Amino acid sequence: MTIPVRPPADIHVTRAQQSAAARLERDLARGYSINVKQVLLAFAVEFVIIGLILANQSAIAAELPNSNWLSIIKGTSLPLALAMAELARVPLAIAVRTQPSWNIKIVAVAGVIAAVVVTSVNLSLIGWNTYDPRLEEVNQKHVELLKLQDQKTILSNQVIEATNAMQQKGTDRESAFEKQSRLQLTLNAQQNVIGGQVTTTNLDGTRNIKAVFRENPALPQLKKELAELKLQVEAAEGALKHAETQRATYNANAHQLDEKINMAETQYREAINHSQLHSYASMLFGKDPSMLSDGEIKTLERYLIWVPAIAAALSSTLIAMTAVRRRRLPKPQRAAIIPDDAAKYLFGPIVTAIRQAADDAVAATMNVHAKAASPQGTAKTQPS
């Protein structure tokens, strides 16, 4: 006869069953069970958050002017200390579910809230550094555009002033030229010499009248004034040419500035399109991204940073709290009690029949033994 040998797998299953039974007995005794995988996942979430916080703070410290390893240590000391407080959130969350004392539960809840606040603040810094580079680029492009627009305003005023100055210089030149023309006509109308009479008295007392000619005394004055007006006309002409040159320079600068403004507007638009905050705010407020105000952007940024930060801080807490499951001993089942009258009614005939069958079986057995013990029965049993 071959004896079947139990395979090793059966032994392993038996041990596993024994271990599971022992854990179940332990959990029933203390009233709860803990899902170890969820607890490990909660700690994994904590370590990832702590790693991101330390990396973020290290990057901030490294960006400081004249940064070195000492500045990195100083910049990460406080986050590292707060990270230790964050690690306490998982055990505190488990304590909220497992502690029987309400005083301890309240203290554990306060500790969880404090740890959530610490984590939320640290995660908000990560969120700020996530959105800040795009916002910084948008603000930089916006500032550059505003500076160019201010320059355009100043240059437009200079063009207007140069135009007014050119018109004034043209008016001054025309006025001086007209004066010169009128004076030239007056000079041309003057005679070079004018005639006169000179009366002399002779010795005999008679008078002698003699005609004499002399240069027109008005000519030198007119010539002097004409020379002065000629200088004024030349000065006005020079001033007009200078004003025209100045306005032409301003116009050329304005053309170049328009090209820079167009380029700056394009870069500003591209920076806005690359900013997630502007895209989200545009959808939320129903505006063109370039028409959004700084207040609207900051409002959305506040919600996009704080809400996910608090949610991420609560994630490991909720994972740890839901890892605890209540275990209660099964309630003992009460035995069914049948009244005597009902039992007699239901089982009385059965009991009577069983007794009758038992009596008949005993009587038949006794008859068989009696016949076997009698001499006739013995003789009948002997062979012939």
d(CA 107, CA 90): 14
Q: Specify the pLDDT at position 136.
A: 79
Do residue 21 and residue 37 come from a single domain? yes
What Cα–Cα distance (Å) separates residue 64 from each residue in 69, 72, 251, 371?
Answer: 11, 9, 44, 120
- Burial of residue 71, with CB atoms counted within 10 A of its CB: 0-12 exposed, 13-18 middle, 19 or more buried: middle
Q: Specify the pLDDT at position 3.
A: 42
Q: Specify the pLDDT at position 205.
A: 67
Do residue 162 and residue 131 come from a single domain? no
- With respect to residue 224, please indicate whether it lies within any of the assigned structural domains: yes
- With respect to residue 209, please indicate whether it lies within any of the assigned structural domains: no
Do residue 160 and residue 26 come from a single domain? no
Do residue 79 and residue 23 come from a single domain? yes
Secondary structure of the chain: what % helix, strand, coil (to 5)? 80, 5, 15
The total domain count for the chain is 2
- With respect to residue 172, please indicate whether it lies within any of the assigned structural domains: yes
The CA radius of gyration of the chain, in Å to the nearest whole number, is 59
Do residue 32 and residue 133 come from a single domain? yes
Do residue 124 and residue 249 come from a single domain? no
Do residue 232 and residue 175 come from a single domain? yes
Give the structural domain span for 63: 16-145+306-326
Residue 287 DSSP class: S
Do residue 137 and residue 225 come from a single domain? no
Say if CB 134 and CB 276 are below 8 A apart.
yes
d(CA 79, CA 212): 116
Residue 277: closest CA among 128, 74, 144: 128
Do residue 257 and residue 157 come from a single domain? yes
Q: Specify the pLDDT at position 381.
A: 43
Q: In this structure, what token pair is assigned to residue 331? A: 């309630």
- With respect to residue 205, please indicate whether it lies within any of the assigned structural domains: no
Quickly count: other Cβ atoms within 10 Å of residue 110's Cβ.
11
Do residue 222 and residue 99 come from a single domain? no
Do residue 241 and residue 157 come from a single domain? yes
- With respect to residue 115, please indicate whether it lies within any of the assigned structural domains: yes
The letter for the amino acid at 294 is D
d(CA 77, CA 67): 15
Do residue 123 and residue 158 come from a single domain? no
The pLDDT tens digits along the chain (384 residues) read 444 444 444 445 577 777 777 777 776 777 778 888 888 888 888 888 888 888 887 777 777 777 677 777 777 777 777 777 778 888 888 888 888 888 888 988 888 888 888 888 888 888 887 777 778 788 888 888 889 889 888 888 888 888 888 888 888 778 877 877 877 777 676 666 565 666 677 666 677 766 655 666 667 777 777 788 788 778 888 888 888 888 888 888 888 888 888 898 888 888 888 777 788 788 888 888 778 887 888 888 888 888 888 888 888 888 888 888 777 666 666 666 667 677 666 767 777 788 788 878 878 888 877 777 665 544 444 443
